[in-house]
Chain A
Amino acid sequence: MKGFLLSFRSEFYKSRKTLGFWAAILLPLLISALALVIFYTQSHKFVRMDPMMLWVQFSMISLGIMGSLLLPMYTIFVAYSVNSIEHKADTWKTLFSLPISRWAVYSAKYFYAMFLVFLCLALFAIFTIGFGNLLASIKPELKFGQYHMEKQLLQLYFKMFLSSLGILSIQFLLSLLWADFLKPMGIGFVATITGVIMASKDWEYAYAFPYAHPMAALASAIKRGPGARRGPASEFVINILTNDVYVALGVAVVVFIAGYFIVRKRSVK
């Protein structure tokens, strides 16, 4: 356990000046700030909305982007960035000859990548809630203060976090095995597009494909106006433990463990 904690801390120390780490903070900050600016400057368009609808519309700016393309792409990027630090510096051989168990070194790296995805999504939730409440005080004509959906937002982002873990495990392994950027990125991108198509067409087996999970997580939570398949989202109904989340967690655990044995078998370059 000590080896794991030391390695985890070292992962933070190594990455703290890289884009891989800062993206987890800047991405939610920039997108949430953009939503804030839109609602502040275009407030006349939203004045007549009822408070719940207002919150849904406000949070959908971040959720919509994350749920469709950005969360899978960000996960792919994080998985790449934690591994590329070692590929670039040629440090796998030193990491694996430290007096620390290899399992600790490997899992610390994986859990650090997971922590970055978690941090990014947690900040999305926090900034959405924070900026919504800020709008309530600086633009009182928008009725942000009259409704609260903190719990639903936290639940929804938590569900999206869980739904990204399948992708994370797969991409983590790919980025660990291949030093270059294009292979894991290319595979991840094609798989993400496939996943988005599957989930957006409501294909019945989309739940079995990890890259479709973030979008499925979002789509299943959105309820539109009565009888309407299209049109703006009107409320969130969240059920965290659905089939796709179970599949995501299953894939994550299996690939994570299998990855360790694949790495052990391969000689360290």
Chain B
Amino acid sequence: MVIETQELSFSFADQLVVKSLSLQVPAGSIYGFLGPNGAGKTTTIKLLLNLLNTQDGSIRIFGQDLQSNRISIMSQIGSLIEQPAIYQHMTGKENLINRAMLLSVTEKRVDEMLALVQLNAAANKKAGQYSLGMKQRLGIALALLTDPKLLILDEPTNGLDPNGIIEIRELLMRLVRQHGKTVFISSHLLSEIERMATHVGIINNGAMLFQGEIKDLESISQPMVYIETDNTVDAANLLTRNSYTVTDVFDTHLHVPFTSRQQIGEINALLVQNGLTVFSINKQQKDLEELFLDITKAN
């Protein structure tokens, strides 16, 4: 395990923010740390980086105790917490040079990082004039500067446009696949994590609801087929008679568990052949809130 915490708890004043969290992050994984805003994700990350002192429980990173090996552990971690920490009055390149100086990294590496996150063209522009996406990419370049074994990223795609999100996702997947890194990434968007993570931990109100491989999660977060017709009740009856499970029926639409794309086509044909008008039929992913409900029910 690259990150292993045992019964980790943390409270601000008398409010318990992290409750006996036992994280298990295997080497070579992209671990998606999912939870709604205020669930305790950032606090957990700050504990992992020793920015907050552990109150209860223990943290082991690379098999070493964090408290007693802080400096050697930190030298192998790259991190990005909340907003990227960037000196606005310096250029993007100067920001990297400054960090390279602190970490005794060569300037050649700075240019490599600029190329990697595609900021060459804006390297000599003041970072204060960067767009949010450029700042986020610079933040990732800063995190990758020492070629760390473990990347800890707190909501790295916050505020990025779809292209930026795809770029970062591909970059992270490449780092894990080709360079054997481990990535610990937090997010409040299930869809984002599903596309890249190999492992998932779901946290709500400071407590872990689910932890395991992504395929285990998929069995819980089963997607649905959303069907909108001119007569929802008739459609529901028809589908039930043809041995489909109808999970919910609403005034305007109904849900059937998704199994394959073929199945959507068959349902569509069945409805149309029986004289119903289909306004809309598509696959729908559950959002995080519904998933929480499912997990809570499952437990």
Q: Which positions in A face B, CB cutoff 8 Å?
A: 6-7, 9-10, 13-14, 17-18, 85, 88-91, 93-94, 96-101, 267-268
Please tell me which one of the listed residues A6, A9, A14, A90 contacts residue B85 in the complex, with CB atoms under 8 A apart: A90
Q: CB-CB < 8 A to B88: which residues of A? A: 88-89
Extra contacts, 15 of them, besides A101-B71, A268-B52 (Cβ < 8 A), are: A6-B101, A9-B101, A13-B98, A17-B90, A85-B87, A88-B88, A89-B87, A90-B83, A93-B81, A97-B51, A97-B74, A97-B77, A100-B102, A267-B52, A268-B51
Residue from B83, B86, B94, B102 having most chain A Cβ neighbours under 10 A: B102
The interface on chain B, measured as residues whose beta carbon lies within 8 A of the other chain's beta carbons, has a size of 29
Once A98-B74, A99-B71, A267-B46 are accepted as A-B contacts, the answer to whether A13 and B97 lie under 8 Å apart by CB is yes
Q: CB-CB < 8 A to B46: which residues of A? A: 93, 267-268
Interface of chain B residues 41 through 83 with chain A (CB within 8 A): 46, 49-53, 71-72, 74-75, 77, 79, 81-83
Q: Is the CB of B85 within 8 A of A98?
A: no
The CA-CA distance from A89 to B169 in the complex, in Å, is: 26
Q: CB-CB < 8 A to B104: which residues of A? A: 6
Q: CB-CB < 8 A to B52: which residues of A? A: 267-268
Interface of chain B residues 112 through 156 with chain A (CB within 8 A): 142
Q: List 25 A-B contacts (CB under 8 A).
A: A6-B102, A9-B101, A10-B98, A10-B101, A13-B97, A13-B98, A13-B101, A14-B90, A89-B86, A89-B88, A90-B83, A90-B85, A91-B85, A91-B86, A93-B51, A94-B79, A97-B49, A97-B51, A97-B79, A98-B74, A98-B103, A99-B74, A100-B102, A268-B51, A268-B52
Residue B89 at the chain A interface, CB threshold 8 Å: yes
- Nearest chain A residue, comparing its CB with the CB of B77: A97
Q: Which positions in B face A, CB cutoff 8 Å?
A: 46, 49-53, 71-72, 74-75, 77, 79, 81-83, 85-90, 94, 97-98, 101-104, 142
The CA-CA distance from A268 to B81 in the complex, in Å, is: 12
Q: CB-CB < 8 A to B85: which residues of A? A: 89-91, 93-94
Q: CB-CB < 8 A to A94: which residues of B? A: 79, 81, 85, 142
Q: Nearest Cβ distance between residue B178 and chain A, in whole angstroms? A: 25
The CA-CA distance from A94 to B85 in the complex, in Å, is: 7
Q: Nearest Cβ distance between residue A236 and chain B, in whole angstroms? A: 41
Q: Nearest Cβ distance between residue A90 and chain B, in whole angstroms? A: 5
The CA-CA distance from A94 to B143 in the complex, in Å, is: 10
Residue from A6, A88, A98 having most chain B Cβ neighbours under 10 A: A98
The CA-CA distance from A100 to B101 in the complex, in Å, is: 12
Q: Nearest Cβ distance between residue A159 and chain B, in whole angstroms? A: 35
Q: CB-CB < 8 A to A17: which residues of B? A: 89-90
Q: CB-CB < 8 A to A89: which residues of B? A: 85-88
Q: Is the CB of B75 within 8 A of A99?
A: yes
The CA-CA distance from A3 to B72 in the complex, in Å, is: 13
Q: Is the CB of B87 within 8 A of A14?
A: yes
Q: CB-CB < 8 A to A93: which residues of B? A: 46, 49, 51, 81, 85
Please tell me which one of the listed residues A13, A85, A90, A96 contacts residue B51 in the complex, with CB atoms under 8 A apart: A96
Closest 9 CB pairs of A and B: A99-B75, A91-B85, A99-B74, A268-B51, A94-B85, A97-B49, A89-B87, A99-B71, A267-B52
Please tell me which one of the listed residues B53, B72, B82, B87 contacts residue A99 in the complex, with CB atoms under 8 A apart: B72
Q: Nearest Cβ distance between residue B147 and chain A, in whole angstroms? A: 13
Q: Nearest Cβ distance between residue B254 and chain A, in whole angstroms? A: 48
- Nearest chain B residue, comparing its CB with the CB of A7: B102
Q: CB-CB < 8 A to A9: which residues of B? A: 101
Q: Nearest Cβ distance between residue A113 and chain B, in whole angstroms? A: 17
The CA-CA distance from A267 to B89 in the complex, in Å, is: 26
Q: CB-CB < 8 A to A100: which residues of B? A: 71, 102
Q: Nearest Cβ distance between residue A225 and chain B, in whole angstroms? A: 51
Q: CB-CB < 8 A to A18: which residues of B? A: 89
- Nearest chain B residue, comparing its CB with the CB of A96: B51
Q: CB-CB < 8 A to A14: which residues of B? A: 87, 90, 98
The CA-CA distance from A267 to B49 in the complex, in Å, is: 12
Q: CB-CB < 8 A to B50: which residues of A? A: 97
Q: CB-CB < 8 A to B103: which residues of A? A: 98-99
- Nearest chain B residue, comparing its CB with the CB of A98: B102
Q: Nearest Cβ distance between residue A4 and chain B, in whole angstroms? A: 11
Q: Nearest Cβ distance between residue A179 and chain B, in whole angstroms? A: 14
The CA-CA distance from A80 to B100 in the complex, in Å, is: 25
Q: Nearest Cβ distance between residue B201 and chain A, in whole angstroms? A: 21
Q: CB-CB < 8 A to B71: which residues of A? A: 99-101
Q: Nearest Cβ distance between residue B172 and chain A, in whole angstroms? A: 20
- Nearest chain A residue, comparing its CB with the CB of B126: A17
The CA-CA distance from A89 to B79 in the complex, in Å, is: 16
Q: CB-CB < 8 A to B87: which residues of A? A: 14, 85, 89, 91
The CA-CA distance from A88 to B86 in the complex, in Å, is: 9
Q: Nearest Cβ distance between residue A209 and chain B, in whole angstroms? A: 35
The CA-CA distance from A109 to B198 in the complex, in Å, is: 42
- Nearest chain A residue, comparing its CB with the CB of B127: A89
- Nearest chain A residue, comparing its CB with the CB of B87: A89
The CA-CA distance from A10 to B98 in the complex, in Å, is: 6
Q: CB-CB < 8 A to B49: which residues of A? A: 93, 97
Q: CB-CB < 8 A to B79: which residues of A? A: 94, 97
